[in-house]
């Protein structure tokens, strides 16, 4: 099962992708998590990516495409994968389609998690992220068992640098300009599926399972 999660920043792509990965036994591949891990480890890629991410801008396509195309050819991806945060521009989608065609395959669904901007601004201030394992919480909607500590790995939870209100607005603008056109792209390809992301997390997941099958 090869899936793409589409949706605005904070729509719940990561939240749902983790649950999909666990239920269907496929890897969750988040380009945002890959960049954050590189920043934390001080790699060259991390240094390059950080200058864009901190401003709420997209990292250039050439730093992203090869990375993902390599990742999806690793052995744990044989049964499929769920891509979260990629593709994010039309050139990225075209690069993915071309790479998959070369491998004689294609994606099954691009799942668009639809949430209006007003709800998003509310959500982001309450998000807490684990830089250890990539887990995501919300102080109100999905709190950890112990405040400020990751349930899964015990690391400290932080407010992401790009979750400050001014940066969130910039990310939303960038989303509408560069990423939203992908909804049209995958509709034309006959691959788009829509879910209402304003619902409770469990209801959103139930709608996805309805689509994908038990
Ligand atoms: P990335 O990490 O992908 O961030 P994003 O797309 O902005 O999305 P988020 O991770 O902020 O949101 P999400 O949809 O995963 O929501 P979540 O599940 O956490 O990218 C960060 C940066 O990296 C980009 O800005 C860019 O610079 C760069 N980058 C990454 N990929 C790139 C690419 N392909 N090309 C170029 N640049 C790239 O949920 C949000 C919050 O809401 C959480 O607190 C959660 O608990 C809560 N929540 C979730 N669902 C619900 C619900 N149903 N009800 C109530 N609360 C909910
Ligand atoms: Mg995410
Ligand atoms: Zn953790």
Phi, psi of 56 (to 5 degrees): 80, 15
Binding site membership of 14 for ligand 1 (Cβ less than 6 Å): yes
Q: How far is the CA of 161 from the centre of ligand 3 (A)?
A: 17
Residues with a catalytic annotation lie at 13, 88, 127, 160, 171
- Residues 157/137, Cβ–Cβ less than 8 Å: yes
Model confidence pLDDT, tens digit, residues 46-85 = 999 999 999 999 999 999 999 999 999 999 999 999 999 9
Model confidence pLDDT, tens digit, residues 87-101 = 999 999 999 999 999
Q: How far is CA 23 from CA 110, 135, 160, 177, in A?
A: 18, 16, 27, 33
- For the chain, give the mean pLDDT: 96
Taking CA atoms only, the protein residue closest to ligand 1 atom 17 is: 12
What is the per-residue pLDDT for 125? 87
Binding site membership of 12 for ligand 1 (Cβ less than 6 Å): yes
Ligand nearest to the CA of 33: 1
Binding site membership of 141 for ligand 1 (Cβ less than 6 Å): yes
Binding site membership of 171 for ligand 1 (Cβ less than 6 Å): yes
Q: How far is CA 117 from CA 76, 77, 97, 173, in A?
A: 35, 33, 29, 10
Ligand nearest to the CA of 36: 1
Closest atom of ligand 1 to 200 CA is 53
Average pLDDT (178-188) is: 98
25 three-class SS? coil
What is the per-residue pLDDT for 195? 98
What is the per-residue pLDDT for 22? 97
Q: Is the pLDDT of residue 131 over 90?
A: no
Average pLDDT (17-43) is: 96
């Amino acid at each position: 099962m090869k899936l793409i999660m589409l949706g605005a920043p904070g729509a719940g792509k990561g939240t749902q992708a983790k649950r999909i990965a666990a239920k269907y036994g496929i890897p969750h591949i988040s380009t945002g998590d890959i960049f954050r891990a590189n920043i934390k480890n001080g790699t060259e890629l991390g240094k390059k990516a950080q200058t864009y991410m901190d401003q709420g801008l997209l990292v250039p396509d050439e730093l992203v495409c090869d990375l993902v195309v390599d990742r999806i050819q690793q052995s744990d991806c044989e049964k499929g994968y769920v891509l979260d945060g990629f593709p994010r521009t039309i050139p990225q989608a075209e690069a993915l389609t071309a790479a998959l065609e070369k491998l004689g395959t294609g994606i099954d669904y691009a799942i668009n998690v639809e949430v209006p901007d007003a709800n998003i601004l509310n959500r982001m201030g309450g998000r807490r992220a684990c830089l250890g394992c990539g887990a995501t919480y919300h102080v109100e909607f999905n709190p950890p068992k112990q405040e400020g500590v990751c349930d899964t790995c015990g690391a400290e939870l932080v407010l992401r640098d790009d979750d400050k209100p001014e940066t969130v607005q910039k990310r939303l603008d960038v989303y509408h300009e560069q990423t939203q056109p992908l909804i049209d792209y995958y509709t034309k390809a006959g691959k788009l599926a829509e879910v209402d992301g304003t619902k409770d997390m469990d209801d959103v997941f139930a709608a996805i399972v309805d689509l994908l099958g038990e």
